[in-house]
Amino acid sequence: MITIALPKGRIAEETLEIFAQIFDREFKFDNRKLILEVGDFRFLNVRNQDVPTYVEHGSADIGVVGLDVITEKELDIIELLDMNLGKCKVSIGIKNEDELDWSKPNIKVATKMVNITNKYFASKAVGVEVIKLYGSIELAPLVGLCDAIVDIVETGATMKENGLKVAEDIMDSSAYLIANKNSYYAKKDEILELYKSIKQVVDSRA
Ligand code: PRP
């Protein structure tokens, strides 16, 4: 049995579609169910940010999670494959009428991604005051909580709807297949076989 942690939403749906294609059967969570068992696979339906936690602790052997989350959390896991889905960028956003003033002694930045933000501003040798938020980040500059945000941009619609623009891109992200280190050695054959099948589908879609 292989346990696979999937982030709720579109990435989970697309990953289950890949499984359906490989095994030629239906993979679908029942309404509000958090565990799905099909054959030798058990899928866990978890929050995006929690996928690595399940994998790192070995409660899931493998998982699918954004490179942004992997980078933010500096995880002790194995990155198996870029699945080429859930593509987005981590970007700095500011109000349409603003310019990012790099000479400001301390730029106030609201974000979920504290580590990525600190590292990026440190790499530019610019002082930053990071304000940690848990969601609806685009609101923060509108009410004066910060000068800028660091957040995920997928379609750009959320920023646009809120009168924000991208000042700079920090990194590209997409969903990665990751594995727990112990599982990877203990279940190497099963995991590698699955990896190969998934890679084949991912490559055929590219
Ligand atoms: C993410 C992100 C942005 C939005 C970007 O939020 O934090 O708000 O998606 O997508 P877009 O460029 O296509 O508009 P999410 O929906 O995950 O909610 P959250 O803020 O609660 O994490």
What tens-digit pLDDT sequence spans the chain (206 residues)? 999 999 998 899 999 999 999 999 999 999 899 999 999 999 999 999 999 999 999 999 999 999 999 999 988 999 999 999 999 999 999 999 999 999 999 999 999 999 999 999 999 999 999 999 999 999 999 999 999 999 999 999 999 999 999 999 999 999 999 999 999 999 999 999 999 999 999 999 88
> Residue 77 in contact with residue 28, Cβ under 8 Å?
no
77 and 105 inside one domain: no
The total number of structural domains that make up the chain: 2
Q: Tell me, rounded to whole angstroms, the distance of Cα 60 from its chain centroid.
A: 17
Q: Cβ < 6 Å from ligand 1: which residues?
A: 135-138, 151-158
103 and 178 inside one domain: no
> Residue 58 in contact with residue 182, Cβ under 8 Å?
yes
Which token pair is 121? 């501003």
Quote the pLDDT of residue 206: 83
22 and 119 inside one domain: no
182 and 152 inside one domain: no
152 and 178 inside one domain: no
- Structural domain range at position 123: 88-173
Instruction: Name the residue at shortest CA distance from atom 9 of ligand 1.
Output: 152
Helix axis angle for 188-205 and 10-23, nearest 10°, is 100
CATH of the domain at 58: 3.40.190.10
> Residue 93 in contact with residue 153, Cβ under 8 Å?
yes
Q: Which of 88, 92, 111, 154 to mutate to test the pocket of ligand 1 (most atoms within 8 A of CB)?
A: 154
30 and 6 inside one domain: yes
82 and 180 inside one domain: yes
CA of 152 to the centre of ligand 1 (A): 6
139 and 187 inside one domain: no
Which 3 state secondary structure label does DSSP give 15?
Answer: helix
Which 3 state secondary structure label does DSSP give 5?
Answer: strand
Q: In the chain, how long is the greatest CA-to-CA distance?
A: 58
7 and 108 inside one domain: no
6 and 41 inside one domain: yes
Instruction: Name the residue at shortest CA distance from atom 7 of ligand 1.
Output: 152
pTM (2 decimals)?
Answer: 0.93
93 and 161 inside one domain: yes
58 and 94 inside one domain: no
